[in-house]
Amino acid sequence: MKAPHKAHVALVDGETFVLLRNHGKPFEPQLKQEAKPDLEATNFSAGVRKQDDVSQQTGATDLAELAHGAAVAEWLNAKCVAGEIDDLVIIADPKTLGEMRRHYHGELEKRLVGEIDKTLTGESLDRIGKAISAA
């Protein structure tokens, strides 16, 4: 995947959100952490209707994780609408990414360079950069 120079990379799972930035070339990303945004996960109704039958019956879906994904999407939406993000790569575990997609604003979609549905939180920046290049 091509991650343009200065592209933002959102690294997300059900509990973590780290914002990175590519200071390298499009096919040779060199990532540096920008900030660890402070989120308020308030959308606890997120995902309730989208659970599969087994998850609804057993309570296997963690609503806090889905609310976190919704909060990340809302934060990214605000930054895209404000013009603070031009190019964006989102890397998230499949469940969180699915929830985030339900909340994408049109401006975020215009700036979205690509998505990777993997859990890479906790990995080194070098490994994350290689995952972007390989996608």
Structure tokens at 67: 């609310």
Determine what percent of the chain is predicted with pLDDT higher than 70. Answer: 84
Task: List the chain domain ranges.
Answer: 8-134
At 22, which amino acid appears? N
Residue 58 CB partners (closer than 8 Å, separation 6+): none
Structure tokens at 109: 């979609």
pLDDT in tens, 29-66: 999 999 778 777 565 555 444 544 545 554 545 777 88
Assigned fold of 8-134:
Nucleotidyltransferase; domain 5 (3.30.420)
DSSP of 98-127: HHHHTT--HHHHHHEEEEE-S--TTS-HHH
